[in-house]
Amino acid sequence: MPSVIITGADRGLGFALCKEYLSRGWTVFGGKFLDDYNLLEQERKKNPSLHIVPLNVGDAASIAKARDLVAEQTDSLDMIISNAALMGEVKCSIDDLPMDLNTPWNSFRVNALGPTLMVENFLPLTDKGKMKRLCFISSEVSCILLMKYRVGSNYPYPMSKSSMNMGVRLMHNLLYPQGYSFRLYHPGWMKRQMTDGTLSEWAMLDPADTAAHCAEYFETPLGDEQRLVLYDYRSHEWPF
């Protein structure tokens, strides 16, 4: 049975990916960050293949502890999905002075460095996995070309997602020759999931629909794994 760890799995796309991989027969380690959401616990009652792991990707000690908890259950892991992100509206841009320097650091720690630290810590398990697949949820806002006409954006989220892409590029250079393959995915504008599991009215996509498309893309081997692209929920490729 293949296995995956998914960060930021309490709700939204992370939770939907947990359910999607469980339905595909995978063993799933769901990273739990939020105390006020218990969707993972409810799912665990229905499916013992789901293991809930406390995980704050902005904290190196928390990542190492999560790795040790996973290693108690399995000696190998097939896939890592870095989904967790700090996305909220923050006031930090050149058109809203003065800029608050703490906000970007939080975003960089979680969104850009967190995914790299996850890979570093879980390598001993993924090295023994059959699939060796490293997957990253990015965004169209990470793509400098696509942001050409966007004005007034807060800076930390797009800048940190661009940095994550660079981290993925550098990890690909190192790990692809060692048998690893990579996926970088833009999930589209998704509805927000509430504590009771219902979805917000605004936004375009149901995270469950995106998760089905995303999981298929992550799981399926490609003919040209040496090529790194940003792939989106409509199966389009973007430069990044």
Ligand X SMILES: NC(=O)c1ccc[n+]([C@@H]2O[C@H](COP(=O)([O-])OP(=O)(O)OC[C@H]3O[C@@H](n4cnc5c(N)ncnc54)[C@H](OP(=O)(O)O)[C@@H]3O)[C@@H](O)[C@H]2O)c1
Residues that bind ligand X (CB under 6 A): 7-8, 10-14, 31, 33-34, 55-58, 83-87, 110, 137, 139, 186-187, 189-190, 192-193, 203, 207
Q: Is 130 strand, coil or helix? A: coil
CB of 130 to ligand X, least distance (A): 26
CB of 95 to ligand X, least distance (A): 22
Separation of alpha carbons 189 and 210, rounded Å: 10
| Per-residue DSSP letter, 16 | H
Using the CB atoms, write b or e for 34-51: b if 16+ within 10 Å.
eeebbbbeebbeeeeebb
Q: Which is nearer to ligand X, 144 or 226 (CB)?
A: 144
Residue partners of 130: CB distance under 8 A and separation at least 6: 2, 76, 78
Residues 127, 67 contacting (CB under 8 angstroms):
no
CB of 223 to ligand X, least distance (A): 26
Q: Which is nearer to ligand X, 1 or 145 (CB)?
A: 145
CB of 96 to ligand X, least distance (A): 21
- Could you list the beta-strand ranges (E) of the chain: 3-6, 27-32, 50-54, 79-82, 133-137, 181-186, 230-232, 237-238
CB of 111 to ligand X, least distance (A): 7
Q: Which is nearer to ligand X, 127 or 206 (CB)?
A: 206
Instruction: Tell me the β-bridge partners of 133.
Output: 79, 181
Residue partners of 42: CB distance under 8 A and separation at least 6: none
CB of 49 to ligand X, least distance (A): 21
What are the structure tokens assigned to 169, written together?
A: 């590029």
Q: Which is nearer to ligand X, 42 or 226 (CB)?
A: 42
The type of residue at 76 is S
Q: Which is nearer to ligand X, 110 or 131 (CB)?
A: 110
Tell me the residue nearest to ligand X as measured from the CB: 12
Q: Which is nearer to ligand X, 31 or 156 (CB)?
A: 31
